[in-house]
Structure 1
Amino acid sequence: MKRISNPHRLALAIGLISASLNAHSLEDFALEEVVVTAQKRSESMQEVPVAVSAIGSEDIEALGWDNPTDVASQVPNMQVSAPLGDAQPIFAIRGISMADYNPSQASPIGVYADEAYLGSTYTHGLSMFDIERIEVLRGPQGTLYGKNTTGGAINIITRNPELDGYTTGYTTLGVEDYDGRSASMAVESPLIDGVLGARLALKTKKDEGKWDNHNGSDMAQTDYRAGRLTLNWQPTDELNALLKITSAKSTPRSSVPRAEGTLPGGMTLAGVVTDGEHYEGATDYVGKTETEMTSVNLKVSYDFENFTLVSVSSFYDADYLAETDTDGTTANLLSIDWQSDSEAFGQDLRLVSSFDGPFNFIAGLYYGHEDINTDIVHHTFFADPVVPVMLNNLSNAMNAMGNVPMADHFAALAVAAPNMGQVQRGFDVVKESYAVYTHMTYDINDNLGLTVGLRYTEDENRRNYINYSHLDHSGNPIGSWLPNNLLSTPFIAMGIDAPFVTSGLSAQTGLPAGMFLDGPYTTASGEKRSVKEDAFTGKIALDYQLNADVMLYASYSKGFRSGSFNNGLVYADQTNENGAYAAPEYVDAYEVGVKSEFFDSRVRLNANYFFYEYEDQQFVNQVGISAQLVNAGGADIQGLEVELLAMPMEGLTVQAGLGLIDAEYTELNLPRLSTPLDPADTIDLKGNQPVSSPELNFNFALDYEFQPSDAIIARAHFDGTYTDEQWFSAYNELDGHSNIRQDSYWIYNARVTLSDLAEKYALSLWVQNLTEEEYDVYAINLQGGFGYNYFLEGAPRTYGVDFTVRF
């Protein structure tokens, strides 16, 4: 593996801050202590032997965050991709991520809203309002958080009402470009002094779309509204109950991909020449992306003399609809309407000790249940009449080049194309999980501490329904692949996953080339399947307090991501051992770090080095018009992270973060996409870089608060993020994937706020993506089936003004 380079940017920043501190007299100002709940109890961030970034409400406001894709911008070694736009964010931490766009798959980065686990990725952005703090825990969190946290965890912590005092609140109104307008408000009040408090928060945001559609309504719209009622009940000194009821809905017109044709002349399979323009184009399908969630979260705690018993009960009901023009052009080449609904219940019960002595512990039980139903309302192929002509031309071209397998593939597809029609899919899974865990700390002496965590998880994943059927372009039933494909068994034996017969397969089977492999149409289910698995995960760490300002730590932790059934498009029912199910993934993580403060708590510097052994990573691999959920054999990942927070002079705060990643697959073989119907023809991808793992990422934020006059307080904010080049596919530059990547880029944001001395009124002017950087957040190779590469673009420059009244 390559040696990690020197973090010269951070060294320069530290030098400048140190010089500034030495140049100014040490007045009475310092950084505030940051309290986090990363280890399920309130602790100073500087005393927790975990790599954690905490972003408070004031910084969230200054950064202008209002969706989860923003979070990665100020956290080292954290990225986010978005296959279908902001509605379905996919996080990556330290090179651990997923490339799956199916809504039933769980991310390896656990996302929690007020300790409630959000399994479905499309729920992750719906709670992003009225936030007290966001905590990002980097590294496996297998003890206290459990499965599906091989990369880390994100805690979204919303505001709670006070029990004493007066009625308080705020209202913020905003306007921005693209005809955008927003409003948010919150009000809280003690209903019974010292006993019961309530808080109501509301938010709405809408614009007319950031993607200029030359053929109708603009796309990539924002249309979001949400509300949350929080009740804080303290009937006795010992008992507290916190109830949160959240309802959120987002119904924008969809984001549209940028299709870059890969056929001669830059054409797609529909004969359209794409121009590669960002944020504009023409689409024949104006669909919407609708996400909706109602959640209930109840946290009850009871204090005994030396213990606290904590119960966290959560439930959510979420729905998802994504209507997408997947080819992003006026041709009717490929469009998909996803629909999913999920219900989830979680129960965490734990006992937290508060002994005065050197030993303390957390011991708990956990139960989780998810029921996810996914339907493809329609998945339309090749409706444009030019497609068969293009396919025949491609077949002739492949023959001329001597590529007989691809010539056969395109020839058979040309025969089949007029009858491809639509795929109708139904897929229901239930995920059930039980766990028991303990997290123990012991102060060996005044300076040396030991942490030991252990968790046992038992999972059962059940596929209760699967049906993949064939309709014509008008939606009339033709036949079914699953469960009634009468020829699926011999094709499974040959490793073939296709809806039609190529010339090569015709010679093997005696079937006519281009024949569809349908059985009788039915809505019945294919074979129901169930998989049980269990795992031990945990952590052991030592922390050493070198002095009052410096703590050193070293840790080993193990993470586990549950196995999953393949919800991708297939045409023959596979066995659990041969494609229907991806096995669990594991990571063994080793980390050493330092947490420190200098100059009378005016500089906070935290750094760590980590090394991962990553096994059986799950990811989707697109082969022709089929989607395969596979396990990578293994990967090694090492990296360095440095975070700096400093106050070199009163009113000025400087933040900086540096992340370095060196990651490569140690074992990975995937099908060669130029021969999609020959499963034996594979490529060895050992040494390739995993997806979403740029070698260098850097972020900074500058905040300066001052008084330009006796009546006004001003706050100026400027931040930036640098992301090195990265791949969106494990193939890297091989087998036609050289463009499935993003070059390095910078994003800059700025905000200026003016308020009165009492901070009752505030006016803010802001701009995001100041330099109009054009960049992509997701890409996938669709050359084999459709003749183009699919790119999803990041947000363009936006600017606006907000006005806030506090009372």
Structure 2
Amino acid sequence: MRLRPRIRIPMKYCVPFALLGAPLVFQSFGAHAQTAEKRMETISVSATFRKADIEDIPASVDVLSADDIDTANGLNSAEDITRLLTGVQAAVANGSQIAFQIRGIGAVDHQALTPGAAAIYQDGVFLATNVQTGTMLYDLERIEVLKGPQGTLYGRNASSGAINFLTRNASSEQLNYLEASAGRFERFDTAFGYGDALAENISYRVAGRYLTQGPTLDNVQTDPNVPKGPDAAGGERDEFGLRGSLFWKTSELTDVLLRAHYERDRGINVTPRNDSLDVDDFEISSEGLGLKDTENDFYGMSLRARTVWNGWDVMSLSAYEGYKQDYGFDFDGSPAPYGSTDFNANLSYDRSYDQWSQELHFQKSFGWGRTLFGGMLSAESFEQRYVIWCGELDPDTYVGTCGYVGAPGRVGPNPASDGDAVTLITDISQDRTSAALFNYTDFEIGPQTTLTVGARYTYEDIEGSGQGVHVFDDGTQAFNNRDGLGAAVGSNEIEEGRFTGNLALRYKIPDFGAAYASVASGYKSGGFNGEVQNNGTHFADEGLFDAETVVAYEIGFKSSPTDTLSWNIAAFYQDYDAPQARIFVAFDLPDGGSITSNSLSNLDAAIAYGIEASASWRPLEGLTLDAGVNLLETEIEQENDLGGNAATFDGNPLPFASETTLRFSARYERELAANRLGFVSLNAKYNSDYYLDAEGLDSRMQDGFVLLDGALGMRFTDSDILLELWGRNLLNEDYAVSGYGFLGYNTFRSEPASYGLRLRWDMNS
């Protein structure tokens, strides 16, 4: 058993406990305010389709409603939700691959063939790769965020939490709208949602969005010997999405919902910034040879059926999800590394993915409580070609016009050609089969006390195969053989089963709130590294990474004492075993420089603990205030050698784990004249310093920053038209959204301040 250090509670952790008393003061004022709609409405825990008040769930749950999303001036893609949440951060790489960290837990990984630590769902359907979360968001009903290990309530095992994006679906009553927005950087954004009844028990809905935007970062000249590169290196957006649903209520006890969606991305991925460049905020420098038009397509459909059978509520969810990707960018993020254009490196991905899944749930209420039994089966198929080259690439022979930096070291001894190795090609195939049985049961052990017990067994079989090849300037191809450890070609299989579960006790105080204590376990699967294959050890057991596990302990209190006030507070401790982390290892180049190789591996252990609190208050008619704070401590515990680098990691904080995150939002509406409603909204979030990877180097730390968004507008209630002036990142904060080591260190950057005008027509409000 590993001994844990004593937990030292810094003085800053006393702050949220003071908030326990603050709502009682607020309550005395709120009792005299005019009655407003209660914020914490009954919500559906979507994976189980079970109606439950948020106070009745003995875990930390955040819900972003359609109004919350609209107040945030819309969400472009999944990472934008972190602007509205505390304790949730996101690393965004390669344009659209998002790895979420919840309460510090989550590998910062840019490969696409492994699930994230946070399980991501769309309408209850699990999205098994971080690529799928990068598609734009539209026509959302709400977003549910469960913090802490999951697996007995939602349909997939997860070590940090679960995020479910719920779209508006066909129903008897629907919101129909049409909107358009124009703004800085030649941005144009239009969206619609429309639905109606086809017959007495059949309804439909169609929704779509189109977004286009020019470069947001300036591509500047930093080397007088290299001409200024194209403006498009600063990123371009050209995205389209369409979704449809059909709802059929076949009887009083049975209904069927069919959904289908298609999204397309034809923009250009933004170029990263190399830390050796002397550039200003929101500037990059690239010669542009790696620029490539993106061709990404995402598609899927699902069929949900619900009925009642012998007193049991039965739900079946069958789904297919898939995508194809072809994109690239300037991998080294510099026009001339080490002052030589012969050291350039460009990167492209060509991927395809298919996922089939089936979930089946049975739930029933008894005199003693309620139980749910569930089963899940899924099959995934992934194919990827990963290419690194220098200069111009011949699409038929894969021969570049100069030698990709690092090629000689990977070729190994006894090269197959007397020429120079110029291009790296890595192919990988992976098939994953997953199955699980799970149960979630509430025992009413007293009039105000509930004991929750959950259990899950997961089986996974992962088969991987691939090869790493170098192409020489004479067209010859040969397997990589770095360090003479054998040809980089092979296959392997990972097969394992795991038990996880949760236990919670909740005590409800009538008309005030509920206290709870819980312990939960979860894990994220191990797997294969899907990118550079250096030699024959890549698919050997020692070349794989293991599953990570988390056991989380939490105590909390949730309260909605009045119709105008709700608040909650939680303290948590998470025991993080074998954390998955991207490990960067430098090796020498023949000219005396160095290149960084990286892969997903396991650290020994880590801990993460903290306090989280939030409150929502409507002190006056038309005024809503929301605030939240998350105070977090994380520490890596590394004893094993890890290639002689144990001291590099031991004692470091986890990446993307800010010690302090604060959030505040306010919205005020007031009638200005007959049929004229004015409003102003403000949303601010502060993230303190965080490291971009687990090595804890100051040069790879992002300083703290504040994100400020706002809107000012008017609604014409007689015509249901809204006119709004919006702004995002109004403080013009330039910060890193992810980083990786290659030639120096490269970071993907945030967008600068943007603003625009939005027009919306609610056709049936």
1:68-467 matched pairs, under 5 angstroms:
68-85=78-95, 87-126=96-135, 128-145=137-154, 147-163=156-172, 169-193=176-200, 195-214=201-220, 215-218=229-232, 219-261=234-276, 274-275=278-279, 277-285=281-289, 286-304=291-309, 306-331=311-336, 332=341, 333-355=344-366, 357-380=367-390, 419-463=420-464, 465-467=465-467
Candidates 686, 696, 704, aligned match of 1:744: 704
- 1:460, CA displacement in angstroms? 0.3
Alpha-carbon distance between aligned partners in 1 of 2:613 and 2:520, rounded to the nearest angstrom: 20
1:478 maps to amino acid: Q
- SS of residue matched to 1:225: strand
Alpha-carbon distance between aligned partners in 1 of 2:30 and 2:319, rounded to the nearest angstrom: 53
Q: Residue 364 and residue 127 in structure 1: after superposition, are their counterparts in 2 closer, same or farther (change >3 A)?
A: farther
- 1:3, CA displacement in angstroms? 2.0
- SS of residue matched to 1:564: coil
- SS of residue matched to 1:527: strand
Mark the runs of 5 or more structure 1 residues left unpaired by the alignment.
262-272, 393-407, 493-518, 520-524, 672-678
State the 4+ residue runs in structure 1 displaced beyond 6 angstroms: 381-388
Q: Which residue of 1 aligns with 2:38?
A: 31
2:717 maps to amino acid: L
Alpha-carbon distance between aligned partners in 2 of 1:781 and 1:418, rounded to the nearest angstrom: 28
Matched, 1:603 2:558: no
- 1:12, CA displacement in angstroms? 7.9
The alignment of Structure 1 onto Structure 2 pairs a total of residues equal to 717
Alpha-carbon distance between aligned partners in 2 of 1:386 and 1:247, rounded to the nearest angstrom: 39
Alpha-carbon distance between aligned partners in 2 of 1:758 and 1:618, rounded to the nearest angstrom: 56
Matched, 1:530 2:537: no
- 1:761, CA displacement in angstroms? 0.6
Matched, 1:614 2:576: yes
Q: Residue 387 and residue 556 in structure 1: after superposition, are their counterparts in 2 closer, same or farther (change >3 A)?
A: closer
2:555 maps to amino acid: V
RMSD: 2.9
User: Which stretch of structure 1 is more off in the superposition, 751-760 or 114-123?
Assistant: 751-760
Q: Which residue of 1 aligns with 2:622?
A: 651
Q: Which residue of 2 aligns with 1:722?
A: 686
Q: Residue 457 and residue 417 in structure 1: after superposition, are their counterparts in 2 closer, same or farther (change >3 A)?
A: farther
Alpha-carbon distance between aligned partners in 1 of 2:407 and 2:347, rounded to the nearest angstrom: 21
TM-score (ref. length: structure 2): 0.88
In 2, are the aligned partners of 1:586 and 1:616 still within 8 Å (CA)? Answer: yes
- 1:579, CA displacement in angstroms? 3.5
Alpha-carbon distance between aligned partners in 1 of 2:737 and 2:567, rounded to the nearest angstrom: 30
Matched, 1:698 2:698: no
- 1:550, CA displacement in angstroms? 1.6
Q: Which residue of 2 aligns with 1:763?
A: 723
User: Which stretch of structure 1 is more off in the superposition, 422-431 or 627-636?
Assistant: 627-636
- 1:208, CA displacement in angstroms? 1.4
Mark the runs of 5 or more structure 2 residues left unpaired by the alignment.
1-6, 221-228, 393-399, 587-595
Alpha-carbon distance between aligned partners in 2 of 1:146 and 1:545, rounded to the nearest angstrom: 27
Alpha-carbon distance between aligned partners in 2 of 1:670 and 1:186, rounded to the nearest angstrom: 56
In 1, are the aligned partners of 2:30 and 2:564 still within 8 Å (CA)? Answer: no
Q: Which residue of 1 aligns with 2:556?
A: 593
- SS of residue matched to 1:42: strand
- SS of residue matched to 2:615: strand
In 2, are the aligned partners of 1:585 and 1:618 still within 8 Å (CA)? Answer: yes
Alpha-carbon distance between aligned partners in 1 of 2:365 and 2:286, rounded to the nearest angstrom: 62
Deviations 1:733-766 (A, max 9, x none): 3xxxx21110111010001221112461111110
Alpha-carbon distance between aligned partners in 1 of 2:324 and 2:569, rounded to the nearest angstrom: 40
User: Which stretch of structure 1 is more off in the superposition, 105-114 or 619-628?
Assistant: 619-628
Alpha-carbon distance between aligned partners in 1 of 2:329 and 2:700, rounded to the nearest angstrom: 20
Alpha-carbon distance between aligned partners in 2 of 1:439 and 1:385, rounded to the nearest angstrom: 59
Matched, 1:683 2:647: yes
Alpha-carbon distance between aligned partners in 2 of 1:433 and 1:127, rounded to the nearest angstrom: 27
Alpha-carbon distance between aligned partners in 2 of 1:435 and 1:781, rounded to the nearest angstrom: 37
2:264 maps to amino acid: K
2:285 maps to amino acid: G
- 1:806, CA displacement in angstroms? 1.8
Alpha-carbon distance between aligned partners in 2 of 1:621 and 1:90, rounded to the nearest angstrom: 16
- 1:14, CA displacement in angstroms? 7.9
1:71 maps to amino acid: I
2:78 maps to amino acid: P
1:466 maps to amino acid: G
Alpha-carbon distance between aligned partners in 1 of 2:246 and 2:581, rounded to the nearest angstrom: 41
In 2, are the aligned partners of 1:741 and 1:779 still within 8 Å (CA)? Answer: no
- SS of residue matched to 1:662: strand
2:297 maps to amino acid: E
Matched, 1:580 2:551: no
Alpha-carbon distance between aligned partners in 1 of 2:22 and 2:645, rounded to the nearest angstrom: 54
In 1, are the aligned partners of 2:151 and 2:456 still within 8 Å (CA)? Answer: yes
Alpha-carbon distance between aligned partners in 2 of 1:626 and 1:781, rounded to the nearest angstrom: 7
In 2, are the aligned partners of 1:385 and 1:418 still within 8 Å (CA)? Answer: no
In 2, are the aligned partners of 1:146 and 1:560 still within 8 Å (CA)? Answer: no
Alpha-carbon distance between aligned partners in 1 of 2:754 and 2:20, rounded to the nearest angstrom: 29
Matched, 1:660 2:631: yes
Q: Residue 681 and residue 668 in structure 1: after superposition, are their counterparts in 2 closer, same or farther (change >3 A)?
A: closer
In 1, are the aligned partners of 2:390 and 2:401 still within 8 Å (CA)? Answer: no
Alpha-carbon distance between aligned partners in 2 of 1:445 and 1:466, rounded to the nearest angstrom: 57
Q: Which residue of 1 aligns with 2:714?
A: 754
Alpha-carbon distance between aligned partners in 1 of 2:577 and 2:640, rounded to the nearest angstrom: 14
TM-score (ref. length: structure 1): 0.84
Alpha-carbon distance between aligned partners in 2 of 1:422 and 1:682, rounded to the nearest angstrom: 33
In 2, are the aligned partners of 1:573 and 1:580 still within 8 Å (CA)? Answer: no
Candidates 793, 800, 803, aligned match of 2:749: 793
- 1:590, CA displacement in angstroms? 0.6
- 1:125, CA displacement in angstroms? 3.0
Alpha-carbon distance between aligned partners in 2 of 1:123 and 1:391, rounded to the nearest angstrom: 31
1:463-502 matched pairs, under 5 angstroms:
463=464, 465-472=465-472, 476-481=475-480, 485=481, 491=485
Q: Which residue of 2 aligns with 1:711?
A: 675
Q: Residue 14 and residue 72 in structure 1: after superposition, are their counterparts in 2 closer, same or farther (change >3 A)?
A: farther
Q: Give aligned-pair identity as a percent.
A: 21
In 2, are the aligned partners of 1:240 and 1:302 still within 8 Å (CA)? Answer: yes
Alpha-carbon distance between aligned partners in 2 of 1:96 and 1:221, rounded to the nearest angstrom: 31
In 1, are the aligned partners of 2:378 and 2:435 still within 8 Å (CA)? Answer: yes
Candidates 540, 545, 554, aligned match of 2:508: 545
Deviations 1:319-343 (A, max 9, x none): 1223010122323512110121110
In 1, are the aligned partners of 2:181 and 2:757 still within 8 Å (CA)? Answer: yes
User: Which stretch of structure 1 is more off in the superposition, 715-724 or 623-632?
Assistant: 623-632
- SS of residue matched to 2:55: helix
- 1:418, CA displacement in angstroms? 8.8
Q: Residue 25 and residue 628 in structure 1: after superposition, are their counterparts in 2 closer, same or farther (change >3 A)?
A: closer
Alpha-carbon distance between aligned partners in 1 of 2:19 and 2:499, rounded to the nearest angstrom: 43
